Amino acid sequence: MSDIHTTVDAKGLSCPMPIVKTAQAVKNVPAGELVEVLATDPGSVKDFAAWTRSTGNAIVEQTEADGVYRFVIKRA
């Protein structure tokens, strides 16, 4: 179950597009599947935390390298 189902490349995009694109991607995967998000918007760190609290999905992995934030989200 640790395979990434879908990757959302939101690099370079500004608020609200990383969230909007992720929400659409998560909606299209079956429950329990993993969606990987790559973003460069520094605001996305707080935004994804809030978004997962609102939707009940979970961030199972979060890393940052060279200004790219990577979130792995598990669909509830």
Partner 1 sequence: MATETTAPAATTEPEAEARLTEAIAAAAQPETSVPGAQRQLVVINWSGEYDKVLPTLIMSSVAAASGYKASVFLTFWGLLPFVKDSRRLTGENTMQKMLSFMQRPGIGHMKMSKMNFMGMGPWMIGKLSKQYNVASPQELLEACQLMGVEFLPCQMTMDMFGLKREDMIDGLGDPVGAATVLELMTEEHTGSLFI
Nearest distance from C-beta of residue 9 to partner 1, angstroms: 12
The answer to whether 15 contacts partner 1 (rule: CB under 8 A) is yes
Please give the angle made by the CA atoms of 13, 2 and 26, to the nearest 5 degrees.
Answer: 40
Q: Which of 15, 17, 50, 60 is catalytic?
A: 15
Please give the angle made by the CA atoms of 20, 23 and 28, to the nearest 5 degrees.
Answer: 130
- Out of 7, 13, 59, 70, name the contact with partner 1 by CB under 8 A: 13
For the window 45-74, what string marks contact with partner 1 as x by the rule CB under 8 A? Answer: -----xx--xxxx-----------------
Cα–Cα distance measured from residue 43 to residue 15, given in angstroms and rounded to the nearest whole number: 8
